[in-house]
Structure formats: structure tokens, C-alpha cells
Amino acid sequence: MKFTDLFSSKSLSKKEIGDRGEELAVRRLKKLGYKILDRNFSVHGVGELDVVAVEGDYLCFVEVRLRSREDYGTPAQTVDAGKRRRLIHTAEIYMQNNGLSGRLVRFDVAEVYGDGRVELIKDAFWAG
């Protein structure tokens, strides 16, 4: 099923569309050589990490963003300052919980478009 079919389907919930978009992003990441460590890591009241992966020497926290249309900008443009703060804080907790402190870290954004295309933005933002 193409992603465009998902946006036109009235029978799927927003969560189901998001899950399928995330699955497209994970497939793309794997093709690019990312090793997926975790998905949908959540800390109540703090935030959620869509995908945690390793690519080369980097521990990558990948935010998956979907857009059916580009009228209001790219999917990555929806990752505002507040969202970045929550992602960084959640990533810090993830690293502490999993003994990964001191690793090289990168925040990437996987943009999933209505035509099924997945674009990856490495180093989309910095924690510092």
C-alpha cells in the first residue's frame, strides 16, 4: 500500500497512519545501514522517542514526521523548540536507563511524505 492511500483512507485512525508512516521510515533507515535499537520509547510526562538507532559511531534519536501535503512547510519544520527540548530530555533519560552516557549522539528527522517518499535529515538539530 502506498502512503497516499493511507491519507485518503477514512477507515484508519491518526495513530494507524502514524504507525504505518513510522514503519516506512524504519525500513528506509535500515536500508541506509542504521541498526534499530528501540522504537516508541516513552517517558510519562516528558516525551517519546520514535526511533533509537546506531549509525556508524553515533547513537541516533530519529523523530519521524508525516505530512500529507506541503502547503504549510516540510515535516521537519514541525519540530519546534518545545518538541526539541522534550526529545533531548527523553534522550537523556534513555541514555541513563541504558548505560549509554558518553556516546556520540545525533538527532535526525525522518520526513515521510504523502507520496511515500522518506527523506532523512541527519543532524537536524543539536542538544547543546
Q: What average pLDDT does this structure show over 28-46?
A: 97
Query: CB under 8 Å to 70, separation ≥6 — which residues?
Result: 113
Query: Model pTM greater than 0.85?
Result: yes
Provide the residue range defining the domain that includes 49. 3-125
Total domains present in the chain:
1
Give the C-alpha separation, 100 to 118, whole Å: 28
What number of other Cβ atoms are within 10 A of residue 6's Cβ?
21
The CATH code of the domain that includes 115 is 3.40.1350.10
pLDDT of residue 84: 95
Chain segment 53-73, per-residue pLDDT in tens:
999 999 999 999 997 766 677
Instruction: Identify the CA nearest to 109 among candidates 17, 28, 42, 31.
Output: 28
Q: What is the pLDDT of residue 10?
A: 67
Over residues 78-117, the pLDDT tens digits come to 899 999 999 999 999 999 999 999 999 999 999 998 888 9
Q: Residue 22: its pLDDT value, please? A: 94
Give the rounded distance of the alpha carbon of 61 from its chain centre: 7
- Residue 92 is predicted with a pLDDT of 97
